[in-house]
Structures are given as structure tokens and as C-alpha cells.
Amino acid sequence: MAFNGHQFDDDILDEDGTPSKQLRPDKEMPESAASAGRASSPRRTSNSMSRLRKDSMKKTRPPFPWFGMDIGGTLVKLVYFEPKDITAEEEQEEVDNLKSIRRYLTSNIAYGKTGHRDVHLELQDLTLCGRTGNLHFIRFPTQDLPAFLQMARNKHFSSLHTTLCATGGGAYKFESDFRTMADLQLHKLDELDCLIRGVLYIDSVMSRGLSECYYFENPTDPDHCIQKPYTLENPYPLLLVNIGSGVSILAVYSENNYKRVTGTSLGGGTFLGLCCLLTGCSTFEEALKMASDGESTRVDKLVRDIYGGDYERFGLPGWAVASSFGNMMSKEKRESVSKEDLARATLVTITNNIGSITRMCALNENIERVVFVGNFLRVNTLSMKLLAYAMDYWSKGQLKALFLQHEVQHLSEATPTSMLERAPSPLNAFLCLCVHPGLLWCSRSPAGASPSILTSSKDALLNLLHTPLAL
Amino acid sequence: MAECVGVDSNTSGHSMDKSITLPPDEIFRNLENAKRFAIDIGGSLTKLAYYSTVQHKVAKVRSFDTTAKEAPNDKLYEISVQEEVTARLHFIKFENAYIETCLDFIKDHLVNTETKVIKATGGGAHKFKELIEKKLGLNVDKEDEMTCLIKGCNFVLKNIPHEAFVYARHADSEFRFQTANPDIFPYLLVNIGSGVSIVKVESEDQFERIGGSSIGGGTFWGLGALLTKTKRFDELLQLASKGQHTNVDMLVKDIYGGSYGCLGLTGDLIASSFGKSATADKEFSKEDMAKSLLHMISNDIGQLACLYAKLHNLSRVYFGGFFIRGHPVTMHTITYSINFFTKGEVQALFLRHEGYLGAIGAFLKGAEEDNPNQYSWGENYAGSSGLMSVSPDMNPMQRARSGTFPFDMLEMDRLERQLVNLPLLQDPSSYIPDTVDLTEDALARDYWLYCFEDALDGVVKRAVASQPDIPEAVVRAEKFRQKYRHKLLTLRHQPFAYGSLTVRSLLDTREHCLNEFNFPDPYSKIKQRENDMALKHYQRTVESLDALSWEDRQFALVSGVLAGNVFDWGAKAVSDVLESDPGFGFEQAKRQLEERPWLVDTYDQWLQRLKGPAHKCALFFVDNSGVDIILGVMPFVRELLSRGTEVVLASNSGPALNDVTNGELQILTERIAAMDPVLQAGLQEDRLTLVQSGSSSPCLDLSRLDKVLAMVVRERQTDLVIIEGMGRAIHTNYYATLSCESLKMAVIKNSWLADRLGGKLFSVVFKYEVPLGKVHHNGATLMLS
């Protein structure tokens, strides 16, 4: 999540008065930000953050309105902080257009034809930067961004001296539109940079109580496959696989030293895209639900379909998939499979392929631990177990697949709209905590930020790093 | 996961067409002597392999009994045409739909009853097992698919030059053939059947399946059929070639507006395959979906292949399987993917005979007792269809238009001799025999294709004339004309059909076609006449040379070789002269030569070198019969012997144009030795040796020479290689670098070529070279040309 993009003008002072570097240098071009970030000097630890003095917060508190945007390939996710502790004095001072923005946003749940506010996600009485208020979640299709910009222009957003924090590919794609159409500057945040810090951070926050990281014990034995906590005490080196619309694979050697090893375009977007085309479904949840009811072996051609059993000459077990969708070459079989079978086969194909590429990267990079993250895995225990199985089986137990607690959510809790696209992933919420100074503070606010607040806010905070980059 | 296995044939959408009648002598050739059958049945194509013998007429020369004193008509030797049996491997590829018709045909024509077993491989082998056993009465013996594939792959890589190629869709020549590296191992074979198998091959019998993927050709076909309701694989490919993947895929720029600079990801990269179909609420065209699917699968396979290649540190990666099989669309996407993922460090290689690997391997398994691997084999250009010809791989619609039979053939002849590299090649792995690649040089290609077509009448005429007593020779010669003309036509449209098109391959194809129609040596009589004539002048020539001063003699010897080389029935400009003026003589030829300085002239360095110590041993690749060998080469050899240099004379094993063959040279040399004590002594003291080159081509491929020649060269510590004539020193080997001194001598008897090289007709190339860093024995560093 990107919060209202006010920048720190001075170095933040620690309690003892020694200056410490702020997280991200100001006015830095996003392109160089990633590399600069990697090489930059010591990063703030969670400990030092907690020692921020309240007055320094006041000093650095950005002016209202507080907005954060995540501009994805499909949806724009906008978060708006509505201050509820406005004094009469402030009310007086509040300029008209600020007031009208606040009223417009908080009194409606639909904006135009396509904009929606997710009331059920709203977070009330949240303390942020010393202010208390409600956090609203608004979404609209990326294709309607011009209309949004037009509104911003009509309401003279630019006169409010606000800088919008934005992430997602659209932050780059539409930056000039923001400038020319609405006279707004975007403060862009790089996604991968944040991802790494987020994963490390979340583990450091959580490991004191609950373990954030876990793995599947006995992944190759369905009856004894159990989720077990895993402590990332010495996390490096680590392979980080971020599965969103596409997939990025990062080798992390230290907090500041990582590289993108490779990526693949066969990711969550492919799963959903193919499912939509094959089954007529329209959401990630629908697709997942179908997949859980289907049988992929009717669609895929297995080794035993060809060899009658194992292909012993090469140590291939009969159950292994020889050709994904291979049975669909036959007309009769095409006619006999269900939509659920097709959805399942799509899920298995995409998941196994990610597993396969990951395993090869791990071998090439000589890394034994793999952490899988990303929206594709949310609500998707099926894929996680498949990945755990594939890693373990094909590496003969050499590779360990790790997952994060905050990725997990149950279908019942899921929002009805496409999660893949909106995906207020709790993980991503943490990621922005680590990136944005305002939010860093939020997580450690003297008002009592605790892991429980963190977890309660998990559903609400926008995913700063939402759009997963592939390839 | 994933096998090279084929798919159910009923999915291919073919209907059995039993109404066709097969043109027997065009497809299943030489069935009468066929034995050792093997069959590879894939998802849609069947590949049949068998061994057979071919009876051919060969021209033999036999010396007249010299003790009888009285040789009839003063002839040096007699020519006889004999029947010779040679071994040939036949490979035929056809659609599964024809399998029953083909089996019936084979049954009807199979004479040999020793055959009891047919080796079978491929996914469809079990399905057709009963049919084969019933029709042919043979026991089907199944062989492991991967083993066959690898065996076949090793075989073609070893025996077929220009087997492997790089595909570049938008380049001037789409196919860039690789020079045959004598050391083919280790390599990676990525077989894309319904699934993908990635195999590391380390030696003849050592290979390991190191990985694979279930996303392969079956995924493209199966998923493609679901998405587009298109049933046939090649129709899916056609759809894909017309589609725009950017309508379906989510690109980096769709998300970022441009490139994602800090990661070096350009905007056109696919961020998420089918990503747009996940969100956009609209219809997608079949073409666009097929294209997106093709990209998704090709990229995925390419990526995995690169990861495996990197892990195992392999740089040669061959791709095969029905997904590839000559389809430009998939070769392009795979190539693109490999380039992308390795940043150009690894090239995707494809094989010209990829479709035959399984059948070849299964056949080799069955023929193990004959030990076919101990021989060298050569592709027969006359009997093989060539790449991208009208083959069953081709789209049925295209084929229907062309109206030809959907059969593709490969024939390989067993060579009498095992072929190896010349040990004196500087770098065997980078040696390219041919000077001009006509596949790349369109201008040169047009000229030479025209030139060979133009010369065809003359060749037909001489072919008929070489068999004056056989009336049906006219009919055969006409068949030869048609065959070769058709080959030239094919090559005009598909210059890459038999690997890189070169003057050498055009000449070799002509020889193969002549042999096919039993014209083993159309020039035999001309050669005989010219040898007889030239021999009469030998003594006088040698005497006049001996009368010269040392320095004048050296020049006269060189001029003699060059003038002799003018007599060449292979060059049209010369054969026209020889035909119109039978009295054209050696002296006239000398006058035709250009004055020094020649077009390429390092004679002064050569002369300087001759003033130094004698060479240990010279290997001389000779060219034409008659004046060339007798009055040009032999006196030169005589001088070398006199200097104390051993000489190895290498001549063709079989006839080609008017080139002197090893058989003829044996007789000539004996005869000359009888009147020349220097040569006589040379022969007796084993300082003059005759070897055969192993070739029957007017050109010279130094990477495929008789094993015996290589042995002799090594034993004698050869330190000078002399190559004579346009075919061997200009069309080929002009740029060949050797590890010892070399001398290339030729007269350019083609005005077009002369023009190209900046000279004129009868310009002289005299190219004496010393390898870099080698210092002349007498201490003087020689200038390098």
C-alpha cells in the first residue's frame, strides 16, 4: 500500500538523537531505486523504528487527503484515510474541495458505473500517524482511470499539494497522464524491492509468537502431510518465488543483495485466463472452486497411459503427467471431460510448471530453501501442496518448499470478486509497511500497534505490491 | 515427465485412403533384396526403415597384359562395365493413414524370406502390432523409444554433413547449417513429443534422461483443440501463424506502459500468458489464442532447456519431436525462446532428418550383428527427398495444391571406406570445405543453377555416348535428365534441401543421379583416349624439362601443372573448346594461361622455399585424366622425388567427370614408371605411394577422407599438401587452413567465377601458404599470402 506520499524532509532522528537514514531516498527515479535500494546503507530495523518520537511524526505528517493507489493491469485499488478526529478548528480551515472529496468518497459506495467501495473491508478507528480515522477501500477498472483523472482535475486535487503514492505497473504506465491530466505527481515504489523486505520483515515480526513460515511435512504422503512451522533464522540464501499474474523468481543472498533469476509468463493470470476461456468462469474463486472438484487425470496423459505403468528405464512413475492436456488430443475424450476437470488440469499444469522451473533455478543457484509467495497461492492450498510435493519428490528431499501464514485465507472469508486482481493480500500489506515511512510507524505506533493489529489490518491494507511482475 | 511418445492416431483426423496406388519404384525401392525391417509409428506419421542392396553398373579399368607386347589399338587399358552390389539404407515416411496400403504393398513385393522380425518403436507401435504381424507375417519386436532416438541421432550427426542447422526466419537464408564437428558428444537432445524429454548424450551408448516437462506438443494440440475447436495439429499451427498473441497475453507494457527498466525487461515481453483473457470480457479469435498458446509452450520449453543446458554445462542443444519436425513456426518460436533465455549463448539446433531418428535407431538395433556403425554412410541425393520437400509433414492443403505424393524418403549408401578427417587440418571443427555457400549467396546460386541446367544437355549426350552398344541407354539418359532437372528445380525453391547448397553439392547430386540410372562413368572413354594420347608425349616433356636450368625448370613444372589443368571436361568453357577442336594441345593450353603476376601469385615464395631443404613428404590431390595428370602432375612429382621428397598421390575412389580415378592412376603410374627410372625407383623404394581419397566427387571434402589415406599421411609425417584444380582448390578448400605448408593451384575456367574473384577466364591461382608461426627450415620466415 502506498500511503499519502509526503516525504520526510530531514533525516529521521532516533531517540538518542543520532540521525538515521530514511528508508528510501527522496525524488529518486524508480528505475534506479531498485538497485540503489539494494546497495543503500543500513536499513532501519524494526527496533529503531519503534523509538521514533511522536513529535517527529507530527513534524513529518503529511497534509490531507491521504491516498494510496495500486494501479494494476486490470484494477486500480485506491485506499483513502478518512480522519474522524477532525477538530472544529480544522473543520474551519479545511478547504472546500478537500471537504467535498471527503464527503463524496465517504457518502457513496458506487462512483460512476464502475467504481466501488468495499464497505466490508473498511477499517474503523484506525490510528495512523497520530490521527484516528477510517480506512476506505475503493476499486475501479484500470480502463476507467481517465475518468478518475478527470474527476481529480475537476476537484482541483493538485491544489491540495498532495503527492500520490502509487505502485503497480500502472504507476509507471500512467505517470505522465497523472501529470498532464491532473497535475499530480506520483511517488512510485518498486515492487520487487519491497517484496524482499516484506518477506524478511514479516518473518521478523511474526516469529516471536506464531511462526510465519511453514512447510509441509511428508508432502509425498497425502495421509501424513501436515503443515509444520519453520523458523527462518538464517534465511540466506533463499529462493523467493512470487506467483502473481506471472511469476518472478528471485535469489536472495542478503537483505540488500538479491537478483531476479528468471521468471515465467505461466502464472496465476494464465490459470485464470485459461479457466475463463475453457470453463466460462469469471473469477479466481470460481476457477479454484471448480479445480477443487475436478480430476486432472482425465485431461492429462499420464506416464501410465502410455507405458501401462512406470517408465522404469528413466525412473518415471506411472502417475507422473507425461503430457498436460495430452488426452485432449482425442475428440472422444474432449467430449467426456467436465469443466471442473479442465480447471483442475489447468491448475496442476501451471503449478507443476512453476515447480519445475523453480527446482531448476534452485539447482543452478545452489539454493535449498524456496519461499513461495503471491496472490496465486492465496486460498489455494491445492497448489501449495502440489508445489511441496513436486519440490520434495523431484529433488529427492533436497529442496524445501516454504510458505507464509499470511498467504492463507479460507474461501469462505474471501471476497466475492476476483481475488487475483484485487487481492488485498495480507502479505502485501506487510510489504508496504516496510517500505513507507508512514506505515512503518503505523505498525509500531505507540497507540498500541501490536501483531494483533497487524493481523486485523491485514485484510484491509491495500496491497502496495499488488501487481506481480512476471517475466 | 513427458515422453516422446506419439499420440493416438485417431486424433490426427486422417481418414484411411486405400484407393491410392503407390508408384512402386519411386517409394519402396529395392524391396526385392530388402531385409532387416524397422518401423517407427508416431502419432500421425509412420517411418519405415530397411536395408537393401542395390545392383549397380560400375566402370572398371584393367591393364592389358603388358608382357604380350602387342596391346590392341595401342590402348593402355581396357574398360569394362561390371555389376557391383552396394548396401543401401532406405527410410520412408508416410502418414499413418496409408499404413495398411503400404504394408500390403511391401508384402506383395517382398522376396527375401529370411526376415522374421521387424523392430518397432514409437507410441503407435503397440497399436499397429497386430496389423503388422498379420500383414507381413513378421514378429514385432519392440525397442525402447528413447534408445532408438539417441542411436538415430548419433548416426545422422556422424554420417551426414550439414545435418544440424540453426533456424533464422528473417535471415537471407533461413537455414544455417553447422559444420560437422568430428566430436559430436556431449549434447542435449530436447524431444518435444506430446510431452518433453530432455536427454543428455555423452557417448555412443551413454545417455541419460535428465529431465522433461509435461507441457509439450500434446499440450499445444489438446489445449489448442479445446480453445479453437480445431482438430488437426498442423491446422492449429496455421492458425497460430496468423494470430496476434498480444491480444491475449498480458505484456510488460500492458502493466507498466513501457519496459520495466531496472530489471531489463522490455515492454513487449509477455508478463502473463493468457493474462488478458482473465480480465477482458470479450471474445478472442482462434488465431490469437493459438498464437498465444504456441508462444507459451515454446517459451516454456526453451526456458527449461536452457536451465538444463546451464546446469550440465552443455552448449549443443538439438530439438526434435513432432512439435518441431520442420515446422517453421515452431522452429522460430523455440529459437526465439533460446536466444532470449541464454542471451544468445546457446543456439537452438535442429536436424534435417529429425523425423527419421527413431526409425534409424530401431533399424540399427536390429542390424547390430552387421555392425553398421563400423562403416561410413553417405546421403544419396538422388534418392532422398530433402528437407521441406513435399513431405507428409507439410500442410495437407499445401500438399494438395502441389499434387504430389505425401511420401518422404531418405536413402543412405554404405561407403566402401570409412571416412575421417585429414589429420593436417588446422581446426577440424571449424573447417568448411566449400568456398561459397549458395544458400546464402542468391546471386551465385542463380548463376550456378543456371549453369548446371545449361550443361545438362552435354552431360546427357556424353552419358549416351559412353554406352554406345546399349540402345536403352537413351531412355535411361532421358530419365537421368528429368531426375536431375527436377533436383535443380527443387533446389531453386529449397536451396537448403540437402544442407548448404554449394557447387560441390550440385556436382555430387549430378553424380548420384547418373549412378542411379546406371551411367557409372560417362567419361571413361574420353579419359581413356586422352590418357593414351598424353602418355605418348610424356618422355618428350620430361626431356625438355631436364634440359632447363633449375630455376627455369621449377617455373616450367608449375606452368605444366596449370596448363594441364586447363584440360577439364567439367568446365563448360573448356569442354566447348575441347569438343570443337580435338587437336587442342598442351602447348596451346600453356599459351591460354595468363602472364604473371597471376590473380593469386605466391610463386616467388614457393621458389624461395624450394631452395631450402626438401620436404619430408608431399600429399598431392590430383584432378583430371590425360594431359593434366600425365604431362602436368607426373613431371612435378618426379621433381619432388628427385629432391628427396616422398609423394603420396591421392585420387578419387570412384569416377567423377574426367577426374582420374585411383584404378586408372595405378595403371598410368606403372606405365610411366616403366619408362621413367625416377618414378620406378620411387615406387620400388616405396617413396611414391598411391592412395584413394574415398571420394567420388570432383570436389574435395578434407573432413571426409579415406581412413587409409589419413593413416599414410600420419605415418609419412607429411609436411606439404598440394591441391590441384578448380573443384578441389577453388570451389572447395580455397580458404582451408592446414597445419603444414600447402600449395593450391588452379586455372579458373569459368568466366563468372573469374569475374567474382577479380580475374578473367584462365586466370591462375597459385596459392602457397605456410601456417602461422611456422618458420622455414633454412631460417627465412616466409611471407604469408
Report which of residues A433 and B687 the model is more confident about: B687
**Residue A82 bridge partners (DSSP):** A134
For residue A206, pLDDT beyond 60: no
- Which of B1, B222, B256 is the closest to A329 by Cβ? B222
Whether the ω angle into residue B186 lies within 30 degrees of 0, i.e. cis, is yes
Residues on chain A touching B263 (C-beta within 8 angstroms):
34, 192, 260, 469
Most confident of the ranges A130-144, A385-399, B697-711: B697-711
Nearest CA in chain B to A265: B272
Residues on chain A touching B254 (C-beta within 8 angstroms):
73, 169
Average pLDDT over residues B241-261: 86
Which pLDDT tens digit goes with each residue over B312-328?
A: 999 999 999 989 988 88
Q: How many CA atoms lie within 13 A of A427 on its CB side?
A: 34
**Residue B420 bridge partners (DSSP):** B705
For residue A222, pLDDT beyond 90: no
Q: Lowest-pLDDT range, A371-375, B26-30, B520-524?
A: B26-30
Residue B374, classed as helix, strand or coil, is helix
Decide: B150 and B144 in contact? Cβ < 8 Å: no
pLDDT reported for residue B121: 92
A214 CB within 8 Å of a chain B CB? no
Record: contact B272-A269, CB cut-off 8 A: yes
Average pLDDT over residues B183-202: 95
293-352 of A, contacting B, C-beta below 8 A: 299-301, 303, 306-307, 311, 313-314, 316, 320-331, 334, 342, 349, 352
Q: How far is B189 from chain A (nearest CA, A)?
A: 15
Residues on chain A touching B43 (C-beta within 8 angstroms):
329
Average pLDDT over residues B275-279: 85
Record: contact B300-A321, CB cut-off 8 A: no
Average pLDDT over residues B269-295: 90
Q: Greatest CA separation found in chain A?
A: 82
Which pLDDT tens digit goes with each residue over B474-500?
A: 999 999 999 999 999 989 988 888 998
Average pLDDT over residues A30-52: 35
pLDDT grade, residue A74 (50/70/90)? low
Nearest CA in chain B to A421: B279
Q: How many CA atoms lie within 13 A of A430 on its CB side?
A: 29
Record: contact A273-B226, CB cut-off 8 A: no
Which pLDDT tens digit goes with each residue over B194-225?
A: 999 999 999 998 999 999 999 999 999 999 99
Decide: B677 and B684 in contact? Cβ < 8 Å: no
Average pLDDT over residues A204-225: 72
Q: How many CB pairs under 8 A join A and B?
A: 243
Average pLDDT over residues A349-374: 94
pLDDT reported for residue B280: 62
For residue A137, pLDDT beyond 90: no
Q: How many whole angstroms separate alpha carbon B437 and alpha carbon B500? A: 6
Average pLDDT over residues A189-201: 65
What is the residue-averaged pLDDT of chain B? 87
Sorted by sequence, the CB contacts under 8 Å of residue A173 that are 6+ apart come out as A71, B253, B255, B256, B257, B258
Record: contact B255-A320, CB cut-off 8 A: no
pLDDT grade, residue A58 (50/70/90)? low
B157 CB within 8 Å of a chain A CB? no
Record: contact B2-A322, CB cut-off 8 A: yes
For residue A457, pLDDT beyond 60: no
Which pLDDT tens digit goes with each residue over B106-161?
A: 888 876 667 788 999 987 888 889 999 998 888 999 999 899 999 999 999 999 98
pLDDT reported for residue B79: 83
Burial B373-397 (b: 16+ CB within 10 A, else e): bebbbbbbbbbbbbbbbbbbbbeee
- Which of A30, A265, A282 is the closest to B272 by Cβ? A265
Residue B689, classed as helix, strand or coil, is strand
pLDDT reported for residue A162: 66
In B345-434 the beta strands, taken as DSSP E runs, fall at 347-351, 377-379, 408-414, 419-420
Which pLDDT tens digit goes with each residue over B561-576?
A: 999 998 887 677 777 7
Place of cell 590431390: B621
Record: contact A421-B255, CB cut-off 8 A: no
Burial B501-517 (b: 16+ CB within 10 A, else e): bbbbbbbbbbbbbbbbb
Which of B145, B190, B205, B219 to probe the A interface (max A CBs under 10 A)? B219
Q: Lowest-pLDDT range, A83-97, B357-371, B693-707, B709-723?
A: A83-97
Q: How far is A161 from chain B (nearest CA, A)?
A: 25
B195 CB within 8 Å of a chain A CB? yes
- Which of A331, A342, A470 is the closest to B231 by Cβ? A331
**Strands B187-192 and B175-177, how do they pair?**
unpaired
43-82 of A, contacting B, C-beta below 8 A: 72-74
| Burial class of residue B72 (count of CB atoms within 10 Å of its CB; 0-12, 13-18, 19+) | exposed
Q: How many whole angstroms separate alpha carbon B217 and alpha carbon B762? A: 56
466-525 of B, contacting A, C-beta below 8 A: none
pLDDT reported for residue A441: 24
Decide: B451 and B752 in contact? Cβ < 8 Å: yes
Record: contact B262-A32, CB cut-off 8 A: yes
pLDDT reported for residue B394: 47
Least Cα distance to B210 among B223, B221, B200 occurs for: B200
Share of chain B above pLDDT 70, in %: 90
Q: How far is B298 from chain A (nearest CA, A)?
A: 12
656-675 of B, contacting A, C-beta below 8 A: none
Record: contact A172-B10, CB cut-off 8 A: no
pLDDT reported for residue A434: 29
Average pLDDT over residues B45-57: 88
Report which of residues A219 and B633 the model is more confident about: B633
Q: Lowest-pLDDT range, B177-186, B267-276, B314-323, B423-432?
A: B177-186
For residue B752, pLDDT beyond 80: yes
How large is the ipTM? 0.82
- Which of B7, B271, B276 is the closest to A246 by Cβ? B271
Record: contact B7-A274, CB cut-off 8 A: no
Report the predicted TM-score, pTM, of the whole model to 2 decimal places.
Answer: 0.81
Report which of residues B452 and B76 the model is more confident about: B452
Residues on chain B touching A245 (C-beta within 8 angstroms):
250, 271-272, 275, 278
pLDDT grade, residue B460 (50/70/90)? very high
For residue B641, pLDDT beyond 70: yes
> Catalytic: which of A93, A94, A175, A191?
A191
- Which of A266, A316, A471 is the closest to B252 by Cβ? A471
Residues on chain B touching A325 (C-beta within 8 angstroms):
218-219, 222-223, 226
pLDDT reported for residue B45: 85
Task: Based on DSSP, count helices (H) and strands (E) in chain B, helices before strands.
Answer: 27, 25
Q: Lowest-pLDDT range, B2-11, B673-682, B722-731?
A: B2-11
pLDDT grade, residue A412 (50/70/90)? very low
For residue B784, pLDDT beyond 80: no
Residue B408, classed as helix, strand or coil, is strand
Record: contact B274-A270, CB cut-off 8 A: yes
What is the residue-averaged pLDDT of chain A? 70
**Residue B83 bridge partners (DSSP):** B57
B210 CB within 8 Å of a chain A CB? no
Share of chain B above pLDDT 90, in %: 60
Decide: A7 and A26 in contact? Cβ < 8 Å: yes
pLDDT grade, residue B611 (50/70/90)? very high
Nearest CA in chain B to A245: B272
Sorted by sequence, the CB contacts under 8 Å of residue A363 that are 6+ apart come out as B311
118-137 of B, contacting A, C-beta below 8 A: 123
- Is A191 among the residues known to form the active site? yes
Nearest CA in chain A to B307: A360
Nearest CA in chain B to A422: B279
